[in-house]
Structure 1
Amino acid sequence: MDYRHLQNRKSMHGRIVQELGIEIVKGTLAPGERLPAEPVLCEKYGVSRPVVREATRVLVAKGLVTSKPRVGSIVRPREHWHLLDPDVLYWTLASIPESDFFHSLLTVRRIIEPAAAALAATEASDEDLARIRVAYERMAGADSADGLLEPDLEFHRAITAATHNDMLAYIGNMMSLALSESIKLTSRHPDTHALSLPRHKAILTAIQNRDPLGARQASLVQLENALVDADSILEVGSRSVR
């Protein structure tokens, strides 16, 4: 996946944020451990204290560290990290096996997406149904795996929006980046278009028919099949590097 090519940070504070962030996510700097002292970081990167402090503030905002006077900056336990923050997500993706990321995300998707599809089946307005249908039609009209990505994301965003539940819609938007990486993985399957369309059509049809149980089941089936597709891709990849 292209997430492994981390961004080249032009600013020094951005470089410090990225390097420390990666060390935290990889476990080189463990929860409860202090970050190197400001003078050490200033000397290492050739920057002033304000630059180091700005980098620390960014890490605090991402939930990775807590900073206290006369104590310093301490790495926080993983459950406090903002894992869907774009930077934290990319650092995580770069530091764990691809299969671990996919399976972790799929567990979350199994909890959220079937429930959202079921709720959309009862709460969607005509405008919501049209938005979901248009996203599906754009998927059907895509002529490449790359062209399938954005309408696939929009399909799932449209469903969470159709629940008219602000928290679900927010969670759906926050997960968009992680979901896009999941879709990129499954789109490497040679038959991705032929496999994906009927699964999404089943979800659309159930929502249009105001069938919450059918929508929930169709969503679960889509996720289970995505798991099968991804595992086959990852197995092929592991064999190719042996």
Structure 2
Amino acid sequence: MKSRADHSTYSLKPEGKSMHGRIVGELGGAIVGGEFKPGDKLPAEAELLERYAVSRPVLREAVRVLVAKGLVVSRQRAGAIVRPRNEWHLLDPDVLYWLIQAKPQREFVQTLLEVRRIFEPAAAALAARAATEPQLKSIEQAFEGMAAATTTEELLEPDLAFHRRIAEATGNDLLAYIGNMLSLALRESIILSSQLPNTHALSLPRHKAILTALQNRDPLGARQATLVQLEETSDDLSTILASNGSVNLA
């Protein structure tokens, strides 16, 4: 099974990647994890050059990556300063990975469910109106992949595809982008909920109800079926967290 680390550019172990990647991963994780607060300066360039034993161009390129991710602003003479949290590019796969790693698991689950309750019902309702026939077929194929799965590993990709393709079927490029960027966080939710022994059997009818509403061009039905799915998912995740405490998914 792929873990969180498989879906982040800078999340691999330091021994297996470039120094540039190591610098980005360590500094990015430290910022998102709260070691550096908004308004704080990163260590001085001379200190970082000594710590990582790299050339100045390599270090500056790493800082440029952090700038591009919205985590820091680089100012001449002042150095790299951590930006306010609301300016971070939280849907960037690496930033999202660092956020997942930094948050307590229960808090992460709650954050994700809040986003899903806002995003997915509205996306499903819009897709019920806007989806093309090929798009509906692709959603159906993803569901068939879920139905054929016999393990969590086999279930994961078609389940992710089901939700991603609904976002794509809205015909709204921005919604499709958001749906795609949420895949990393959704992956964690699916892996966690799959710890319940009967979750696959229970989730199939819920997804089938969403698919049927989409095929019937029923926006209200698609919205309601999605809300039901999310409430059942919330119950599943609450049960797992209550029984297992904090679970390491990495």
Bin the TM-score by the shorter chain: over 0.9
What is the aligned partner in structure 1 of residue 164 from structure 2? 157
Deviations 1:190-229 (CA, angstroms, capped at 9, x unpaired)? 1121111010011011111111111100001101110110
Per the TM alignment, residue 164 of structure 1 is displaced from its structure 2 partner at its CA by 1.1
Structure 1 residues not aligned, in runs of 5+: none
Per the TM alignment, residue 2 of structure 1 is displaced from its structure 2 partner at its CA by 3.8
SS of equivalent residue, structure 1 residue 42: helix
Whether the 8 Å CA contact 2:143–2:207 is kept in 1: the answer is: yes
Whether the 8 Å CA contact 2:93–2:181 is kept in 1: the answer is: no
Whether the 8 Å CA contact 1:4–1:93 is kept in 2: the answer is: no
Code of the residue aligned with 1:208 in structure 2: it is Q
Whether the 8 Å CA contact 1:4–1:94 is kept in 2: the answer is: no
Off by >4 Å, runs of 4+ in structure 1: none
Code of the residue aligned with 1:194 in structure 2: it is A
What is the aligned partner in structure 2 of residue 124 from structure 1? 131
> In structure 2, what is the Cα distance between the partners aligned to 1:90 and 1:152?
20
Aligned counterpart in structure 2 of residue 229 of structure 1, from 230, 233, 236: 236
Deviates more, 1:177-186 or 1:149-158: 177-186
> In structure 1, what is the Cα distance between the partners aligned to 2:150 and 2:116?
26
Deviations 1:136-162 (CA, angstroms, capped at 9, x unpaired)? 111111111111111111111121121
SS of equivalent residue, structure 1 residue 66: strand
What is the aligned partner in structure 2 of residue 103 from structure 1? 110
Question: Alpha carbons of 1:77 and 1:127: their partners in 2 closer, same or farther (altered >3 Å)?
Answer: same
Count how many residue pairs are aligned between Structure 1 and Structure 2: 241
Deviations 1:47-106 (CA, angstroms, capped at 9, x unpaired)? 222121111111111111000112211001111111122221221121111111111011
Question: Alpha carbons of 1:112 and 1:240: their partners in 2 closer, same or farther (altered >3 Å)?
Answer: closer
Cα RMSD for the two superposed structures: 1.9
What is the aligned partner in structure 1 of residue 90 from structure 2? 83
SS of equivalent residue, structure 2 residue 211: helix
Q: Does 1:8 align with 2:13?
A: yes
Per the TM alignment, residue 3 of structure 1 is displaced from its structure 2 partner at its CA by 3.0
SS of equivalent residue, structure 1 residue 28: coil
Deviations 1:142-185 (CA, angstroms, capped at 9, x unpaired)? 11111111111111112112111112111111211121122111
Per the TM alignment, residue 238 of structure 1 is displaced from its structure 2 partner at its CA by 1.5
Per the TM alignment, residue 4 of structure 1 is displaced from its structure 2 partner at its CA by 7.0
Structure 2 residues not aligned, in runs of 5+: none
Whether the 8 Å CA contact 2:106–2:246 is kept in 1: the answer is: no
SS of equivalent residue, structure 1 residue 31: coil
Per the TM alignment, residue 111 of structure 1 is displaced from its structure 2 partner at its CA by 0.9
Code of the residue aligned with 1:88 in structure 2: it is V
With structure 2 as the length reference, what TM-score do the two structures score?
Answer: 0.91
Q: How does 1:186-225 map to 2 (within 5 A)?
A: 186-225=193-232
With structure 1 as the length reference, what TM-score do the two structures score?
Answer: 0.94
> In structure 1, what is the Cα distance between the partners aligned to 2:12 and 2:247?
27
Give the share of equivalent positions with the same residue, in percent: 62
SS of equivalent residue, structure 1 residue 30: coil
Code of the residue aligned with 2:223 in structure 1: it is R
SS of equivalent residue, structure 2 residue 245: helix
> In structure 1, what is the Cα distance between the partners aligned to 2:211 and 2:218?
10
> In structure 1, what is the Cα distance between the partners aligned to 2:64 and 2:173?
29
> In structure 1, what is the Cα distance between the partners aligned to 2:4 and 2:146?
23
Whether the 8 Å CA contact 1:56–1:73 is kept in 2: the answer is: yes
> In structure 1, what is the Cα distance between the partners aligned to 2:55 and 2:194?
46
